[in-house]
Structures are given as structure tokens and as C-alpha cells.
């Protein structure tokens, strides 16, 4: 089921929660809506579901206008952060609920319900919990039951709102990998909301980055991470270092070094900022021509296989963070207070008017 949103806007009073959203959600994909708190992710999901009416714009499911249809007609499955399971029902009863309450003429037979629910419990690795009540399950198990319940009615689209938000970090990690495997098996068009960059980068086929009711970028995890459309996306997807300077005629001059910046070919000299990820800062003992910046080591920290080094540049006025492998860090034998040379790679230069 392909979903298209055309010029969707939604206001709450004077506040623009969604502003002229245009988005195409691929059929059978796992799409993440990722953005800071209040950026409109949940509102967008609710508009897709039919739980919220947009003020303007259209929503198409496989090319058909569904803007005026309600949740039931759109056949969407919904899972929220807080697994709203029925407490007085067992896992089996929870999962079968949506089928049992159907009008008689649409209701599957008892045998069909039993088969479908058992298949789902097997798929979601819940077959041993069929007779338990929600209170007898862990948070992760409850969330899997919520998913099974949503899947039981065979939705055309699955919408998940921070499905693992209430769980602790380790369970979250397990469940998101499990969601990916489940999705690969059933290939149901799925949209999930998250504010966790790592979760989106690891799990999604497509990431939609939202900010203040607008979409900043849509792309594969690799595209948004490696080729961020703007400084907001770059900054939002992990730590970045900023190097200030100027750019013109395809060259950037940042903190005393010269770098190619072919996308800024105009001759006009304008202020610019270079954005560099911590793992793209190469630390060296000696200066390499005019390509490296003198820096002072302020703090070092080794966590597992990675070493983080805080440095100051520019007469110790600005701090930057480098990340290197533990092996390289040990080889360099960096000591607090000493001088090293920093060579930035993969610098993304944005002129001030793009920021």
C-alpha cells in the first residue's frame, strides 16, 4: 500500500503543527518519522491513520483519495507507546479481540480465529504466553502482544507511535531488531515515529526528518547521514563539529585551512560553516601542510573499541570532539595538555544563508 500526502496542513489554534507536507511513503517499506519533540511526528501519523483531520491537502492510499474516510475504512493498525492492552483479557483474548467483535457476517469462524491468532503468536514468539494476563508479562512482551493484536485484523498499513519508547535501552535494542526481522517476513507498509536517531538509522528503509511541522529531508539512512540536506539534519543525526570561516569560488577557508567546496562555486565571498563528524577528524602528531589545525588535547575517554578525544582550537576558545579507534588512540599515546594536528575529512560546507 503506497501512501501519498499532498500539501497537508494542520493547525491547533494559531499553531501550525503541520505545514504543507508533501510525502510519498513506499509500499511495503519500513518508514521512520524522525524529529525533535513537538516537530509534528505524531500529528502526521494520526493524520495518516484518519484520527486527525487535516485542514487542507489530500491523503491517497494506492492512488485513491482517503482524506474523508475514517480509521476503520482505511484499515490501519495502530500501536502506541503505552501498550493499551485489555487488562482483564489473556494474551489470546487480547489478540483475537478485533476479530471477535466484528459483525456476524464479517466475523471469521471460531476455528479460523484460533488458527490466525496461533499463527500470529508463533510469528511474534508469544506462543507460550497465550493464557497469561498483561500484568504477568514484561514490557517488551506486552508491546509484542499489542503488535499481534494490531496485525490480527489484517491491516493494510501499520502505524507505530514510539512503540519502544517506554522500554529500557537493552530491551529497546532487541525489539527494534526484532521489528526489522518481522517486517522482512510480512512486508506490510509500516510507518513508525521515533525521536531516537540510532533507532531510525538502524531499522528504517526510509527516514523522514521532521522539524517545526515541516519535512527537512527524506532518504535512506545512508543518504540522510552521509548527505544531509542542511545543517539541521546534520546536527540532528549525531554529534558534529563546527569550523567557521568563509567560502567562494569553490574553496572554503576554515580555521586557517583551505578545503575544496565545489558546490559553492560563486565568486562572492560569504561567511560559511564547515560541519564534520567526530570520526572524520584525523589526529596527527605533525602538521601536514596547510591542511591541518593546531589543537590542544583536553580530555580523553576510551569506551570499548572507541576513544573520544576533546580538543581545543583557536587559542583554546573552541572545543571539538574527535573519535578514533582504541588501537589508534593507544598508538598515538595522547596526553592531556599536548599539541596535536587535526585534519578534517568529509567536511560539509554550508554558507551562512543556508543555516
User: What is the Cα 67 distance to its own chain's centre?
Assistant: 26
255-294 binders of ligand ATP (CB under 6 A): none
**Chosen residue from 3, 5, 17, 182 binding ligand ATP by CB under 6 A:** 17
**Chosen residue from 43, 96, 141, 292 binding ligand ATP by CB under 6 A:** 43
For residue 276, give every residue at least 6 positions away whose Cβ sits within 8 Å of its Cβ, in sequence order, or none: 240, 241, 243, 344, 345, 346, 347, 348
Asked if 35 interacts with ligand ATP (CB under 6 A), we say yes
* Rounded-to-integer distance, Cα 281 and Cα 292, Å: 10
Asked if 351 interacts with ligand ATP (CB under 6 A), we say no
CB of 9 to ligand ATP, least distance (A): 12
# chain residues binding ligand ATP, by CB under 6 A: 12
Interface with ligand ATP by CB under 6 A: which range of 11-19, 60-68, 184-192, 335-343? 11-19
98 phi/psi in degrees, rounded to 5: -60, -25
Residue 7 or 288 having the CB closest to ligand ATP: 7
Helix 91-100 vs helix 110-123: crossing angle, to nearest 10:
130
CB of 207 to ligand ATP, least distance (A): 14
* Rounded-to-integer distance, Cα 117 and Cα 108, Å: 12
CB of 213 to ligand ATP, least distance (A): 7
Asked if 141 interacts with ligand ATP (CB under 6 A), we say no
* Rounded-to-integer distance, Cα 247 and Cα 249, Å: 7
**Chosen residue from 29, 38, 140, 231 binding ligand ATP by CB under 6 A:** 38
Asked if 40 interacts with ligand ATP (CB under 6 A), we say yes
Residue 12 or 86 having the CB closest to ligand ATP: 12
Whole-Å CA distances, 355 to 221, 229, 230, 275, 351? 22, 11, 7, 11, 7
233-262 binders of ligand ATP (CB under 6 A): none
**Chosen residue from 39, 94, 96, 292 binding ligand ATP by CB under 6 A:** 39
**Chosen residue from 41, 144, 172, 176 binding ligand ATP by CB under 6 A:** 41
Asked if 155 interacts with ligand ATP (CB under 6 A), we say no
CB of 42 to ligand ATP, least distance (A): 3
Per-residue binder mask for ligand ATP (CB under 6 A), 191-230, x = binder = ----x-----------------------------------
128 phi/psi in degrees, rounded to 5: -85, 0
Residue 94 or 217 having the CB closest to ligand ATP: 217
Residues at the site binding ligand ATP, with contacts judged by CB under 6 A: 12, 15, 17, 35, 37-43, 195
Amino acid at each position: 500500500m503506497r501512501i501519498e500526502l499532498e500539501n497537508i496542513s494542520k493547525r491547533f489554534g494559531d499553531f501550525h503543527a503541520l505545514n504543507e507536507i508533501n510525502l510519498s511513503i513506499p509500499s511495503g517499506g519500513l518508514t521512520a518519522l524522525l524529529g525533535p519533540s513537538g516537530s509534528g511526528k505524531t500529528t502526521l501519523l494520526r493524520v495518516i491513520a484518519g484520527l486527525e483531520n487535516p485542514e487542507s491537502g489530500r491523503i491517497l492510499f494506492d492512488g485513491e483519495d482517503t482524506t474523508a474516510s475514517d480509521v476503520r475504512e482505511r484499515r490501519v493498525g495502530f500501536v502506541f507507546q503505552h501498550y493499551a492492552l485489555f487488562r482483564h483479557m489473556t494474551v489470546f483474548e487480547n489478540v483475537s479481540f478485533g476479530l471477535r467483535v466484528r459483525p456476524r457476517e464479517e466475523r471469521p469462524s471460531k476455528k479460523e480465529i484460533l488458527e490466525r491468532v496461533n499463527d500470529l503468536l508463533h510469528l511474534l514468539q508469544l506462543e507460550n504466553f497465550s493464557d497469561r494476563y498483561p500484568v504477568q508479562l514484561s514490557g517488551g512482551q506486552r508491546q509484542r502482544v499489542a503488535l499481534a493484536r494490531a496485525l490480527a485484523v489484517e491491516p493494510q498499513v501499520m502505524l507505530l507511535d514510539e512503540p519502544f519508547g517506554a522500554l529500557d535501552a537493552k530491551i529497546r535494542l532487541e525489539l527494534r531488531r526484532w521489528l526489522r526481522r518481522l517486517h522482512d517476513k510480512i512486508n506490510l507498509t509500516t510507518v513508525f515515529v521515533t525521536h531516537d536517531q540510532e533507532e531510525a538509522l538502524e531499522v528504517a528503509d526510509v527516514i523522514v526528518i521532521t522539524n517545526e511541522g515541516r519535512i527537512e529531508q527524506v532518504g535512506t539512512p545512508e543518504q540522510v547521514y552521509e548527505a544531509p540536506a542542511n545543517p539541521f539534519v546534520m546536527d540532528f543525526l549525531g554529534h558534529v563539529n563546527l569550523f567557521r570561516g568563509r567560502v567562494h569560488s569553490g574553496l572554503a577557508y576554515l580555521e586557517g585551512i583551505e578545503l575544496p567546496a565545489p558546490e559553492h562555486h560563486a565568486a562572492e565571498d560569504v561567511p560559511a560553516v564547515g560541519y564534520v563528524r567526530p570520526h572524520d577528524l584525523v589526529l596527527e602528531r605533525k602538521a601536514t601542510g596547510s591542511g591541518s589545525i593546531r589543537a590542544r588535547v583536553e580530555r580523553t575517554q576510551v569506551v570499548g573499541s572507541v576513544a573520544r578525544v576533546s580538543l581545543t582550537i583557536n587559542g583554546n576558545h573552541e572545543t571539538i570532539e574527535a573519535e578514533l579507534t582504541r588501537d589508534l588512540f593507544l598508538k598515538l599515546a595522547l596526553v592531556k595538555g599536548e599539541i596535536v594536528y587535526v585534519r578534517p575529512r568529509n567536511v560539509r560546507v554550508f554558507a551562512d544563508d543556508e543555516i
